[in-house]
Amino acid sequence: MYAQLVETGLSRVRNLEEMSREEREFQGRIDRGVKIEARDWMPEAYRKTLVRQISQHAHSEIVGQLPEGNWITRAPSLKRKAILLAKVQDEAGHGLYLYSAAETLGTSRDQMIDDLHSGKAKYSSIFNYPALTWADMGAIGWLVDGSAIINQVPLCRCSYGPYARAMVRVCKEESFHQRQGYDIMIALAKGTPEQKAMAQDALNRWWWPSLMMFGPSDSESVNSAQSAQWGIKLFSNDELRQKMVDQSVPQAEFLGLTIPDPELKWNAERGHYDFGPIDWEEFYNVVKGHGPCNRDRLKTRIKAHEDGAWFREALIAHSEKKAQQAAGAAA
Ligand code: FAQ
């Protein structure tokens, strides 16, 4: 896979002869599977790539709370409310581990948050779609967390230690998230005809955006070749997307629901499901900020940050007072 990505990627990666001595040693460590830690020497471009990816990932977790957060007050039972509340809180936690991992690379949390709010930093396209019914809570858990796990399990083995370690815990929690989503889908699919129709409608709306989460196809992915060489990406966007399709088809069959793709078909020769073309125009439109909810999501996020300013100020004042007291006691 590594060699294949390096060959087919849009950006050509440098071979060992083109690298400086430090870069060659760095690449050697990666090739031997030795983790890179925060204080180790690293090429600036490696640091930049990680800050980009980890901060985008953190922003996705934080913005990703919004579609589900809207449904906490409307969950159909106390049990479902408690489960959804715990899931949304976990997402906040994932955002915090990831911001911390990015901070080890020398960027500040304030800078990352400014970049999100100014529109400079991206977050996952998936969170720019609306959650219209309770069944969307099921579809998000099943398909969105499902895609997130497939993408994130390999990241537990990525070359940068703090990111890899953060992902171990995140992945454990994502498994619970996916199960809770699938559990909602089971309840609806086995419920009344209206409930089953609601589950089908949610699947229809979330299927294609979930496949887009894995990013552009390998032939269009600008960062893949370099990220593969650096051990950040262990599988290509298309390989992970295929895994998602293969995993989801039997799950949809078990639910008695139909995946909204007339071209979906088992290919015995490949040992995988073939699937129809992805609407990349829609994907790029959403990534550029023109999806159904982009403006609303960013506006809500900025307001939450502004509303929390007093609390951050109080925390700083408190820690400064504690530091003064400690200095006074030591004098
Ligand atoms: N949305 O060259 P590539 C979650 C951009 S967490 C928006 O292939 P790369 C948990 C990409 O940034 C979901 N932009 O890029 C949860 C690049 O632009 P740039 C988030 C996208 O980085 C569940 C350009 O397109 N997960 O769901 C997207 O090698 C439920 C070219 O693409 C992660 O962030 C997209 N979908 O591969 C929370 C995982 N895809 O930056 C709440 C870590 C691509 O050069 C509720 N990230 N772009 O300007 C990754 O694995 C990678 O960054 C990829 C993209 C695979 C997302």
Buried b (16+ CB within 10 A) or exposed e, 271-293: eebebeebeeeebeebbeeebeb
Atom of ligand 1 nearest to the CA of 232: 51
Distance (Å, whole) CA 209 – CA 68: 16
- Ligand 1 neighbour 151 (Cβ under 6 A): yes
Ligand 1 within 6 A of CB of 91:
yes
| Separation CA 158–CA 87 (nearest Å) | 25
Q: What distance in Å separates the CA atoms of residue 243 and residue 238, rounded to the nearest whole number?
A: 9
* Nearest Cα residue to 29 out of 218, 170, 189, 159: 159
Return per-residue pLDDT of the chain as tens, 331 residues: 444 554 555 556 878 878 889 999 999 999 999 999 999 999 999 999 999 999 999 999 999 999 999 999 999 999 999 999 999 999 999 999 999 999 999 999 999 999 999 999 999 999 999 999 999 999 999 999 999 999 999 999 999 999 999 999 999 999 999 999 999 999 999 999 999 999 999 999 999 999 999 999 999 999 999 999 999 999 999 999 999 999 999 999 999 999 999 999 999 999 999 999 999 999 999 999 999 999 999 999 999 999 999 999 999 999 999 999 999 988 7
Minimum-distance ligand 1 atom for the alpha carbon of 57: 34
Q: What's the pLDDT at 7?
A: 52
| Domains of the chain with CATH codes | 27-330 (1.20.1260.10)
Q: What is the pTM of this model?
A: 0.94
Closest residue by Cα to atom 46, ligand 1, is: 64
DSSP character string of 75-109: -SSHHHHHHHHHHHHHHHHHHHHHHHHHHTTT--H
CB-CB contact of 283 with 212 (8 Å): yes
If you ran DSSP here, which 8-state letter would residue 41 be given?
Answer: -
Paired tokens of 62? 């934080």
Verify whether ligand 1 is closer than 6 Å to residue 224 (CB atom). Answer: yes
Q: Measured between alpha carbons, how far is 145 from 65 in angstroms, rounded to an integer?
A: 12
